[in-house]
Amino acid sequence: MAVEFLDFYADWCGPCVVMKPVIDELEQEMAGKIEIKKIDVDADPESSPKYGVMSIPTYIVLKDGREVERFVGATSKDVIKSKISQYLT
């Protein structure tokens, strides 16, 4: 799949907990268009430094393996969807 969405989170992170249902909805709505990878920063400590993640939640959009968009913190589903949609061609 050409477009991936990386969700860096932790179970103890308040904003991450708030965003979980939003990300789950996006995963259902955009199934077949994007691949959403949920990365627990505690369970996978190598991924955060690899992508330069300094705080969570952090969301990274990859197109063809390259980072094209990054945003940090809780936000609306519409904002996330519009950021992803611009890379779906």
CATH of the domain at 60: 3.40.30.10
| Domain of 72, in residue numbers | 3-85
Q: What is the mean pLDDT of residues 27-54?
A: 95
Largest pairwise CA distance in the chain:
36
Q: What is the mean pLDDT of residues 81-87?
A: 92
**Predicted TM-score (pTM) of this structure:** 0.93
Q: What is the mean pLDDT of the chain?
A: 94
Q: What is the mean pLDDT of residues 4-12?
A: 97
Distance CA(63)–CA(69), nearest Å, equals 9
Lowest mean pLDDT among 1-5, 21-25, 33-37: 1-5
Domain count, the chain: 1
pLDDT of 1 over the 80 cut: no
Amino acid 2: pLDDT: 87
Catalytic machinery residues? 13, 16
